[in-house]
C-alpha cells in the first residue's frame, strides 16, 4: 500500500515537489481531485511507472521521485525491483488497450495482449490465404507428376514385358510383368548414385540377352593342355647330347661323304644279314666277306644305337607337338562364354605355332644327325619357359571357362534367374535415367 508521495522532481507540473508536514498519509481508499492541469494525469503516469516497471520515457529521463509504501521506500532507482502491485486506468491505458475501431456487438476488447493476439491472428489468416493458394498449386503439380510417373511405370513395365516375352515365354514373373513389379524393383534395387554402373554396353546386353534363353547345354570335359617344363628341359639335354655324340668306328670315307648312299647301303646290309645272302640283289655279284666285314665295322653297335635313339627322339617330338584339333568348337559353350573362348583360343594357336616351330627345329637337327651320325650337329636352344607358362595360362583360362559352363549347366535355373535380374536391372536403369525418375 502506498503511504505517501514524499517527493516528485522534473515530472510534468511537478518541478520539485516535497511533501510538507501538514499533508496526511494515504488511506485504504483515496480520492484525488483538482483543476485541470493541477497534476492528476501526471500522478497517474507516475503510478504507471510502478505498474509496468519499464524504463522511464526519455522525455522524463531527469525525473526523480520518492514514495513511501508499506513495503519500504520506492524511488527512480529501485522501482523496477519493487513487489508493489499497482493497476492504473487512465488515458494511456485506454489508448493502449481498447480498440474502438473493432467493436463487435457492443463487446470491447480490453487488453493490450489480446489486441496484439487479434492482430497476429488476422495476419496469419491473410498468410493462410496465400499458403492455401500455394498448396493448391503444389497439389496440382503433384497430381501431374504422379500421373506422369504412373504412365512411365506402365509403359516401361510393358516394354520390359515384351522384351522378355521375345526371349522366354515360360517365365511367369516376366510374362505377367506390370508397373507394380517395376515400382517394387526400382525401390529395392536402384539408387540414383548407382544408375550409371548398372548400365550394360550394347555388346554385353546382347550377350546376356542370348545367354538367358532356356536351353541347357551338355557338360564339357576339361582339357589337359599343360606342358611340363622340367620334362622339356630334360629332353633338350638328351637331344643335345645325341647331337654332340662321336662314334668310334672304322669308317668308310665314301659313305661319310654321301649320306644318301650310306643310308641305302645300311639298309641293304640289314637285308643281306636278315636273309643270310652272299649275292648282291642289285648287281647279282657275290659280296665278298671282307666287304661285309668293312660295312659292319662302319655300321657298328654304337652307330646302330645312336640311330635308334635319334629315331625314338624324333618320334617323341612329333608326338609332343600340339595339335589345334585338341580344341573344341565354340558352339558347345554357352553364348556368353564364346567370345572370350575364341580370343583365348586364338592366342593359344599363336603360342602353339611358336612351340611347334621350336620342336620342329629340334627334329630337323636330329634328322641332320641321323643322315650322318658321325658328324657333330650344333646344339638346339631350350624352349622358352615364358612361352610354356603363357601357353599354360591360356590352358587354365580355357578350363575356367569350361567350369563356368558346367556350373551354369549344373545350376541352370539359379544362373538363369541371376542373368534375368541383371537384364531387368539394365532395362529399368535405362528407363529411369531417360525419364529423370529420381530428379522428377
Query: Using H for helix, E for strand and C for coil, what is the string for the chain?
Result: CEEEEEEEEEECCEEEEECCCCCCCCCCCCCCCCCCCCCHHHHHHHHHHHHHCCCCCHHHCCCEEEEEECCEEEECCCHHHCCCCCCCCCHHHHHHHECHHHCECCECCECHHHHHHHHHHHHHHHHHHHHHHHHHHHHHHHHHHHHHHHHHHHHHHHHHHHHHHHHCCCCHHHHCCCHHHHHHHHHHHCCHHHHHHHCCCHHHHHHHHHHCCCCCCCCCCCCCCCCCHHHHHHHHHHHHHHHHCCCCCCCCHHHHHCHHHHHHHHHHHHHHHHHCCCECCCCCCECCHHHHHHHHHHCCHHHHHHHHHHHHHHHHHHHHCCCHHHCCCHHHCCHHHHHHHHHHHHHHHHHHHHHHHHHHHHHHHHHHHHHCCCCCCCCCCCCCHHHHHHHHHHHHHHHHHHHHHHHHHHCHHHHHHHHHHHHHHHHHHHHHHHHCCCCC
Distances (CA, A) of 103 to 98, 106, 201, 222: 9, 6, 77, 101
Q: Which pLDDT does position 289 carry in this prediction?
A: 61
Q: Is the pLDDT of residue 267 over 90?
A: no
Identity of the highest mean pLDDT range in 48-52, 281-285, 347-351: 347-351
Q: Which pLDDT does position 305 carry in this prediction?
A: 80
Tell me which of 23-32, 208-217, 237-246, 323-332 is least confident.
Answer: 208-217
Q: Which pLDDT does position 169 carry in this prediction?
A: 63
Q: Which residues are CB-contacts of 175 (< 8 A; sequence separation ≥ 6)?
A: 161, 164, 165, 169
C-beta separation of 310 from 373 below 8 A: yes
Which pTM was predicted?
0.47
Bridge partner residues of 286 (DSSP): 279
Average pLDDT over residues 211-226: 82
d(CA 356, CA 362): 10
Q: Is the pLDDT of residue 104 over 50?
A: no
Q: Which pLDDT does position 173 carry in this prediction?
A: 85
C-beta separation of 157 from 181 below 8 A: yes
Identity of the highest mean pLDDT range in 181-185, 244-248, 294-298: 181-185
Q: Which pLDDT does position 242 carry in this prediction?
A: 85
Q: In this predicted model, what pLDDT tens digit does every residue of 158-217 receive, in sequence order?
A: 998 988 888 776 778 888 899 899 899 888 888 877 788 888 888 888 878 877 776 788
d(CA 178, CA 185): 11
Nearest to 99 by CA among 84, 88, 115: 115
C-beta separation of 65 from 11 below 8 A: yes
CA 62 to chain centre: 78
Band (pLDDT 50/70/90 cuts) for residue 295 is low
d(CA 414, CA 154): 28
d(CA 281, CA 270): 13
Distances (CA, A) of 359 to 42, 235, 345, 391: 129, 11, 20, 15
Nearest to 79 by CA among 60, 59, 97: 60
d(CA 366, CA 313): 8
- Better pLDDT: 317 or 273: 317
Average per-residue pLDDT in the chain?
82
d(CA 9, CA 422): 93
Express as a percent the part of the chain with pLDDT over 70: 82
Q: Which pLDDT does position 437 carry in this prediction?
A: 82
C-beta separation of 148 from 157 below 8 A: no
Q: Which pLDDT does position 265 carry in this prediction?
A: 63
Q: Which pLDDT does position 300 carry in this prediction?
A: 52
296 CB neighbour count, 10 Å cutoff: 15
Pairing verdict, β 2-11 and 72-75: unpaired
Q: At what angle do helices 385-410 and 412-435 cross, to 10 degrees?
A: 90
Q: Is the pLDDT of residue 136 over 60?
A: yes
Q: Which pLDDT does position 250 carry in this prediction?
A: 43
Pairing verdict, β 72-75 and 14-18: unpaired
d(CA 371, CA 365): 10
The arrangement of strands across the sheet holding 64-69 comes to: 14-18, 2-11, 64-69, 72-75
C-beta separation of 331 from 272 below 8 A: no
Tell me which of 86-100, 113-127, 276-290, 353-367 is least confident.
Answer: 276-290
Bridge partner residues of 5 (DSSP): 67
Average pLDDT over residues 407-433: 86
d(CA 211, CA 415): 10
Tell me which of 20-29, 144-153, 276-285, 376-385 is least confident.
Answer: 276-285
Q: In this predicted model, what pLDDT tens digit does every residue of 7-66 receive, in sequence order?
A: 999 988 889 999 998 888 889 888 888 888 888 888 888 888 888 888 888 888 889 999
Amino acid at each position: 500500500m502506498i503511504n505517501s508521495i514524499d517527493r516528485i522532481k522534473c515530472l510534468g507540473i511537478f518541478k520539485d515537489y516535497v511533501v510538507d508536514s501538514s499533508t496526511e498519509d494515504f488511506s485504504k481508499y483515496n480520492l484525488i481531485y483538482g483543476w485541470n492541469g493541477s497534476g492528476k494525469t501526471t500522478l497517474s503516469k507516475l503510478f504507471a511507472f510502478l505498474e509496468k516497471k519499464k524504463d522511464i520515457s526519455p522525455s522524463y529521463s531527469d525525473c526523480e521521485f520518492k514514495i513511501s509504501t508499506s513495503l519500504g521506500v520506492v524511488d527512480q532507482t529501485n522501482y523496477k525491483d519493487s513487489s508493489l502491485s499497482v493497476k492504473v486506468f487512465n488515458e494511456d491505458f485506454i489508448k493502449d488497450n481498447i480498440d474502438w475501431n473493432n467493436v463487435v456487438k457492443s463487446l470491447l476488447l480490453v487488453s493490450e495482449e489480446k489486441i496484439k493476439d487479434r492482430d497476429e491472428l488476422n495476419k496469419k489468416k491473410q498468410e493462410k490465404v496465400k499458403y492455401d493458394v500455394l498448396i493448391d498449386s503444389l497439389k496440382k503439380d503433384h497430381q501431374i507428376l504422379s500421373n506422369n510417373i504412373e504412365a512411365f511405370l506402365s509403359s516401361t513395365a510393358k516394354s520390359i514385358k515384351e522384351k522378355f516375352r521375345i526371349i522366354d515365354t515360360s517365365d511367369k514373373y516376366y510374362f505377367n510383368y506390370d508397373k507394380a513389379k517395376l515400382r517394387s524393383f526400382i525401390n529395392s534395387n536402384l539408387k540414383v548414385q548407382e544408375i550409371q554402373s548398372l548400365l550394360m554396353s550394347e555388346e554385353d546386353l546382347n550377350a546376356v540377352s542370348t545367354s538367358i534363353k532356356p536351353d541347357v547345354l551338355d557338360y564339357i570335359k576339361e582339357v589337359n593342355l599343360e606342358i611340363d617344363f622340367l620334362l622339356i628341359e630334360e629332353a633338350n639335354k638328351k637331344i643335345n647330347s645325341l647331337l654332340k655324340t662321336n662314334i668310334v668306328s672304322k669308317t668308310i670315307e665314301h659313305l661319310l661323304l654321301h649320306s644318301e648312299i650310306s643310308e641305302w647301303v645300311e639298309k641293304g646290309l640289314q637285308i643281306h644279314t636278315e636273309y643270310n645272302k652272299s649275292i648282291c640283289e642289285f648287281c647279282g655279284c657275290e659280296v665278298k666277306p671282307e666287304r661285309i666285314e668293312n660295312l659292319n665295322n662302319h655300321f657298328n653297335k654304337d652307330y646302330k644305337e645312336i640311330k635308334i635313339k635319334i629315331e625314338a627322339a624324333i618320334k617323341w617330338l612329333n608326338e609332343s607337338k600340339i595339335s589345334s584339333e585338341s580344341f573344341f568348337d565354340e558352339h558347345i559353350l554357352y553364348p556368353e562364354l564364346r567370345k572370350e573362348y575364341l580370343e583365348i583360343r586364338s592366342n593359344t594357336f599363336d603360342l602353339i605355332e611358336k612351340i611347334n616351330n621350336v620342336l620342329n627345329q629340334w627334329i630337323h637337327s636330329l634328322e641332320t644327325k641321323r643322315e650322318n651320325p658321325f658328324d657333330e650337329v650344333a646344339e638346339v636352344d631350350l624352349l622358352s619357359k615364358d612361352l610354356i607358362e603363357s601357353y599354360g595360362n591360356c590352358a587354365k583360362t580355357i578350363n575356367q571357362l569350361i567350369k563356368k559352363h558346367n556350373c551354369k549347366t549344373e545350376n541352370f535355373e539359379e544362373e538363369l534367374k541371376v542373368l534375368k535380374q541383371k537384364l531387368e536391372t539394365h532395362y529399368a536403369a535405362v528407363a529411369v535415367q531417360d525419364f529423370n525418375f529420381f530428379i522428377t
